[in-house]
Amino acid sequence: MSQYGRASPNVFDVRTAQLASASAVRGALLDTKKRLPSSLHRLNTSLPMCNRCADSERLFRQRITEYSRLFTVLSLLCVGGACAVFFYINRSIIQRLRNLSQSMRASVFGRTAPITISGNDEIF
């Protein structure tokens, strides 16, 4: 403690030295902040990309494109298959049941209605 007390004659000199060092640190930080982006850019452009990395990236991009196309085609096939099943069931079962129901209702109300027979299953 006595060494620090004897080093400077008064408190004002110590405070002046402290302010000067803080100002120097602040200036150095601002200078580093200005130079850092350009230094990082130079460093990034000076490092060549390894061939294996570039090949891997190209391979992964190609695989992603192929699988995206495959997924799109399979999705369209599923939607098309669902539509085909719906139209088949509608034509072969639902329409025939509606026609049979209308003929039976007409028969219940005393009107003569022919029951059309198309097919060889339980519905007719």
pTM reported for the whole predicted model: 0.44
CA–CA separation, 30 and 81 (whole Å): 66
Q: Where are the domains of the chain?
A: 2-99
1 falls in which pLDDT band (50, 70, 90)?
very low
Alpha carbon of 118 to those of 59, 84, 88, 90, 91: distances in Å?
57, 21, 15, 15, 12
Q: Over pLDDT 70: what percentage of the chain?
A: 77
pLDDT digits (tens, 9 = 90+) for 32-51: 888 788 777 777 676 666 66
Looking at per-residue confidence, does 113 or 58 come out higher?
Answer: 58
More confident residue, 48 or 22: 22
